[in-house]
Amino acid sequence: MSTGSWRIYEGTDLPVSLAAALAAFVEQGYHGTSVRDIARRAGLSVPGLYHHYASKQAMLVGLMTAAMDELISRSRDAEAEAGPTARARFDAVVESLLLFHMYRRDQAFLGSTEIRSLEPANRENYVGRRDEQQRMLDAIVATGIESGDFDADHPADASRAVTTMCVGVAGWYRPGGPLDPTELAQVYLSIARRIVGCTP
């Protein structure tokens, strides 16, 4: 991504079949959605849908993998652009998390609510990617504690609390509210700073 582009969201590049699956899963839940329903939404026959994805599980994995790939990529770009200080890196990664969970709220919501529907091996892989994202923020917070920029008695717990807050935004955020995503991200970023004890 180019400079600052981790903040820019211009729609998704999901294929039609996955976009249809996402809409169905969010609306009806994974187990409440049939392959026939996804095919209908995608304008495909059931065999045509199976040509692209071998199963409904494969579609869920595809959606959740795409979301984590994008989230981690944007977070890495945000951190890389922020500069060396823990404060700047923390602000950038948290802002990236918040924006993702607003602009990609359906995919983020799916990742939070349907992890239970992943088969064991797929769940293990997804949790590993989710943990990779968490470790990124954990490392920044730990660095901030060492440098004196942050003051949290329980850094790992504070870091997880920040992530949980960001993830939770996907469950309630809707466009058209009193604050746009950029403004709302700044409100929640100020809360995140207090959680980790960001010193003046």
**What is the Cα–Cα distance from 161 to 195, expressed in whole angstroms?**
8
pLDDT at residue 37 is higher than 60: yes
Q: What is the pLDDT of residue 11?
A: 83
DSSP H helices, the chain, are 16-28, 35-42, 46-52, 56-82, 86-103, 105-113, 120-147, 155-172, 181-195
User: Quick one: 9 exposed, middle or buried, by C-beta within 10 A (0-12, 13-18, 19+)?
Assistant: middle
Residue 104: closest CA among 132, 75, 79: 75
**What is the Cα–Cα distance from 103 to 100, expressed in whole angstroms?**
5
Domain locations in the chain as residue ranges: 57-195
Q: What is the pLDDT of residue 192?
A: 97
pLDDT at residue 3 is higher than 70: no
Residue 34 binned pLDDT confidence (cut-offs 50, 70, 90): very high
pLDDT at residue 1 is higher than 80: no
- Cβ atoms 52, 15 nearer than 8 A: yes
Residue 4 binned pLDDT confidence (cut-offs 50, 70, 90): confident
DSSP state of 176: T
- Cβ atoms 117, 30 nearer than 8 A: yes
Residues 62-86 have pLDDT tens digits of 999 999 999 999 999 999 999 899 9
Q: What is the pLDDT of residue 53?
A: 94
Residue 122: closest CA among 170, 166, 63: 63
- Residues 12-39, mean pLDDT to the nearest whole number: 95
Instruction: Tell how far CA 20 is from the center of its chain.
Output: 19
Residues 166-192 have pLDDT tens digits of 999 998 999 988 989 999 999 999 999
Considering the entire predicted model, what is its pTM? 0.93
What is the percent of the chain with per-residue pLDDT over 70, rounded to a whole number? Answer: 98
Q: What is the mean pLDDT of the chain?
A: 94
Residue 49: closest CA among 19, 27, 78, 69: 19
**CATH code, 57-195:** 1.10.357.10
